[in-house]
């Protein structure tokens, strides 16, 4: 990182009320005039601090580039709520709805959501309403929903989410492969104005980044940008109408 970029990065941190010298320990951030105490599940501080840096300070979902007014944000795969914190910072007056099926992160998610005035829905989102199993993976960031298996985890159809909430100005997806099921809900997508997502090619055998682009184009998005991760079968995509 050159000197100019380092200064810009530090200014970004300062915007969240975070200042550092040689050592840094993230305990809280300031968002929309509120001080939010950061909470982490046991044993996951290191991996989630890295995730926090990507979302808040690197702006990996490119929230700063969204120009049109954002009144409704839907966060599918909210984890502990770091994207919701970034969304509240960027869109202070928006209604933010966080969907998360993993009970192991609900205490932290509720704490962060309460602090920023966001709503939590303890459910996964997929093609059809029902129930599924969770595969917890090596940490909360890699928890996946095993669709069509029954189980105790509630799943809401994407269509039902749209029917209940109305038009979605910004949809964020990071649902560890469930995006391929959500892509099938074509009617619901007509009411989504912009999407910022992490896609997962490993969840659909033989897929490529072109399949993500084609899916979003097929759902009516004319402006689609794809950024492969370079470190595995996943990446970011952004689309708007």
| Tokens at 204, concatenated | 């659909």
- pTM: predicted TM-score of the whole model, two decimal places: 0.93
pLDDT at 118 over 60: yes
Contacts of 193 (CB under 8 A, 6+ apart): 68, 167, 168, 169, 170, 240, 241
Number of domains in the chain: 1
Determine how β-strand 72-76 pairs with β-strand 124-126: unpaired
Please report whether residue 38 resides in a domain.
no
Cα separation, 57 vs 11, in Å, equals: 9
Please report whether residue 45 resides in a domain.
no
Q: Which of 58, 56, 82, 86 is nearest to 70 (CA)?
A: 86
- Give pLDDT, residue 151: 85
| Mean pLDDT calculated for residue range 62-73 | 95
- Give pLDDT, residue 7: 76
Please report whether residue 71 resides in a domain.
yes
What are the phi and psi torsion angles at 37 (to 5°)?
A: -75, 125
pLDDT at 11 over 90: no
| Mean pLDDT calculated for residue range 33-54 | 93
Please report whether residue 100 resides in a domain.
yes
Please report whether residue 176 resides in a domain.
yes
Range of the domain at 191: 65-240
Share of the chain above pLDDT 70, in %: 94
- Give pLDDT, residue 48: 93
| Mean pLDDT calculated for residue range 194-213 | 97
Q: How many CB atoms lie within 10 A of CB 209?
A: 17
The whole-chain average pLDDT of the chain stands at 92
- Give pLDDT, residue 110: 98
Residue 198's domain is classified under what CATH number? 3.40.50.150
Please report whether residue 59 resides in a domain.
no
Lowest-confidence pick of 65-69, 89-93, 123-127, 137-141: 137-141
- Give pLDDT, residue 119: 98
pLDDT at 24 over 60: no
Please report whether residue 33 resides in a domain.
no
- Give pLDDT, residue 136: 87
DSSP string, 93-123: T-EEEEE---GGGHHHHHHHHHHHT-EEE-S
């Amino acid at each position: 990182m050159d000197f100019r970029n380092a200064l810009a990065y530090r200014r970004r941190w300062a915007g969240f009320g975070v200042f550092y010298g040689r050592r840094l320990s993230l305990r809280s951030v300031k968002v929309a005039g509120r001080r939010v105490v950061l909470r982490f599940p046991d044993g996951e501080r290191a991996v989630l601090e890295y995730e926090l840096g990507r979302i808040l300070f690197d702006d990996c979902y490119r929230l700063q580039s969204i120009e049109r007014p954002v009144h409704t944000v839907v966060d599918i795969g909210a984890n502990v709520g770091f994207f919701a914190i970034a969304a509240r910072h960027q869109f202070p007056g928006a209604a933010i709805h966080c969907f998360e099926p993993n009970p192991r992160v609900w205490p932290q998610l509720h704490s962060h959501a309460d602090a920023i005035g966001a709503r939590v829905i303890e459910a996964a989102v997929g093609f059809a309403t029902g129930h599924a199993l969770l595969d917890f993976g090596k940490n909360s960031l890699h928890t996946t929903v095993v669709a069509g298996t029954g189980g105790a985890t509630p799943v809401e159809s994407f269509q039902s989410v749209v029917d209940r909430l109305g038009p979605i100005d910004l949809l964020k997806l990071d649902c560890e492969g469930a995006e391929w099921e959500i892509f099938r809900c074509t009617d619901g997508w007509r009411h989504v104005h912009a999407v910022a997502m992490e896609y997962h090619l490993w969840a659909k055998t033989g897929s490529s980044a072109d399949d993500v682009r084609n899916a979003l184009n097929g759902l009516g998005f004319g402006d689609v940008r794809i950024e492969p991760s370079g470190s595995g079968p996943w990446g970011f995509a952004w689309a708007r109408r």
